[in-house]
C-alpha cells in the first residue's frame, strides 16, 4: 500500500475515533494531536509530505491505543512503506 493510501486509511481511523483533522499552514512546525475544549484534534502542516503526515497521525493513534484495544473490530493499519517507496 502506498503512503497516500495509508494516510487516507489512518485519517479515516482517526475520525472514527473522534478526532477532527485540520490541514493548516503551520510554518513548518509539523502539528500533532491535542485536545481543545473537550474535542480531540489532529493538526497537520500543509508544508509537510504525506509520509510526515502519516507519521503524525500514527503517533496520535498510538496515543489512543486504549481506544483501539477497546474496539475489537477496529481496522488495523499495515506497516509503513519503506522510506524509498513513492507516495
Residues 28 and 68: their CA atoms lie apart, in Å, by: 30
Query: Can you point out the beta strands (E) in 1-87?
Result: 19-24, 31-36, 39-45
Q: Given this model, what pLDDT does residue 29 score? A: 83
pTM, rounded to two decimals: 0.70
Mean pLDDT of 52-69: 79
Residues 73 and 64: their CA atoms lie apart, in Å, by: 15
Q: Residue 50: is its pLDDT beyond 90?
A: yes
Condensed to tens digits (0 to 9), the pLDDT of residues 20-44 reads 999 999 988 888 999 999 999 999 9
3-class SS of residue 81: coil
Comparing 81 with 41, which gets the higher pLDDT? 41
Amino acid at each position: 500500500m502506498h503512503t497516500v493510501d495509508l494516510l487516507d486509511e489512518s485519517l479515516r481511523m482517526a475520525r472514527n475515533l473522534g478526532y477532527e483533522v485540520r490541514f493548516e499552514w503551520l510554518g513548518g512546525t509539523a502539528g500533532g494531536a491535542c485536545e481543545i475544549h473537550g474535542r480531540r484534534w489532529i493538526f497537520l502542516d500543509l508544508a509537510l509530505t504525506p509520509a510526515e503526515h502519516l507519521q503524525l497521525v500514527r503517533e496520535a493513534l498510538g496515543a489512543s491505543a486504549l481506544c483501539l484495544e477497546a474496539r475489537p473490530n477496529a481496522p488495523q493499519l499495515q506497516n509503513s512503506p519503506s522510506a524509498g517507496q513513492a507516495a
